[in-house]
């Protein structure tokens, strides 16, 4: 594949736009559903929790999230206008029932008040954070005391085999994430790495190692 094509894939993963972006949103939701479910399950969601997700893509996983407990409120934040629209369309019933709320933001300053959420999670977005330490302190600020943040990402060793990750992506392994978290007031409660089979762009099954950090305020 040409360098421009690889660059285009990386840009779509970072910020899906246009016709291709819709396809990318569907593909991401399908390929990453196991990581997303794992992240949600590790949040230990309780009834009436207020939950925030950063970078939800098309948010095709909300039915699964709402099965975790009763009377949940879900808030989604995106940087991609297209994913914001797609998520609202796919989840229009949850939106009209005022269970799901979607907004756009700049990727740095989170537009919510201090201590707003019981649980926060994000899957496959850390690679694109512009100022990771600052974003983590924003996440800390809007979490309620004892609230949890679940950070899920694919390991550098796997990601660096994908030719498009040379563009746009900052890759992480467990140690690098741990060092980043140690610069914040978060406590690490738990971390787990799993390997799963995923379909590669060329169709064959490959092993992907991914990690979840469960943090507490």
- Tell me which residues touch ligand SAM (CB under 6 A): 13-16, 28-29, 32, 35-36, 54-57, 77-80, 83, 107, 123-125, 128-129
* 52 vs 72 by CB, closer to ligand SAM: 52
Shortest distance (Å) from residue 57 CB to ligand SAM = 3
Shortest distance (Å) from residue 24 CB to ligand SAM = 8
* 71 vs 195 by CB, closer to ligand SAM: 195
Which residue is at the shortest CB distance from ligand SAM? Answer: 55
* 45 vs 54 by CB, closer to ligand SAM: 54
Distance CA 209, CA 198 (A): 10
Shortest distance (Å) from residue 82 CB to ligand SAM = 8
* 57 vs 147 by CB, closer to ligand SAM: 57
Distance CA 192, CA 108 (A): 27
| Residue 145 exposed, middle or buried by CB count within 10 Å (0-12, 13-18, 19+) | exposed
Tell me the two tokens of residue 49: 């929790």
Shortest distance (Å) from residue 35 CB to ligand SAM = 6
Shortest distance (Å) from residue 32 CB to ligand SAM = 3
Residues 138 and 211: beta-carbon distance below 8 Å: no
Residues 138 and 111: beta-carbon distance below 8 Å: no
Shortest distance (Å) from residue 14 CB to ligand SAM = 6
* 72 vs 77 by CB, closer to ligand SAM: 77
* 80 vs 91 by CB, closer to ligand SAM: 80
Tell me the two tokens of residue 5: 């094509």
């Amino acid at each position: 594949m040409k360098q421009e094509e690889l660059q285009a894939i990386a840009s779509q993963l970072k910020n899906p736009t246009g016709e291709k972006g819709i396809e990318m949103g569907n593909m991401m939701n399908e390929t990453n559903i196991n990581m997303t479910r794992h992240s949600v399950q590790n949040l230990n969601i309780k009834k009436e929790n207020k939950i925030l997700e950063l970078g939800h893509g098309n948010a095709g996983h909300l039915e699964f999230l709402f099965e975790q407990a009763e009377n949940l409120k879900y808030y989604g934040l995106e940087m991609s206008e297209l994913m914001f629209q797609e998520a609202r369309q796919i989840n229009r019933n949850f939106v009209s029932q005022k269970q799901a709320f979607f907004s756009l933001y700049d990727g740095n300053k989170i537009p919510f008040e201090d201590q707003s959420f019981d649980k926060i999670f994000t899957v496959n977005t850390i690679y694109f954070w512009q100022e990771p330490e600052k974003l983590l302190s924003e996440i800390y600020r809007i979490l309620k005391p004892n609230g949890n943040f679940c950070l899920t990402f694919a390991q550098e060793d796997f990601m660096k085999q994908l030719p498009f990750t040379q563009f746009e992506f900052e890759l992480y392994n467990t140690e690098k994430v741990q060092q980043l978290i140690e610069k914040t007031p978060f406590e690490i409660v738990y971390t787990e790495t799993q390997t799963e089979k995923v379909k590669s762009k060329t169709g064959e099954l490959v092993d992907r190692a991914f990690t979840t950090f469960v943090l507490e305020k």
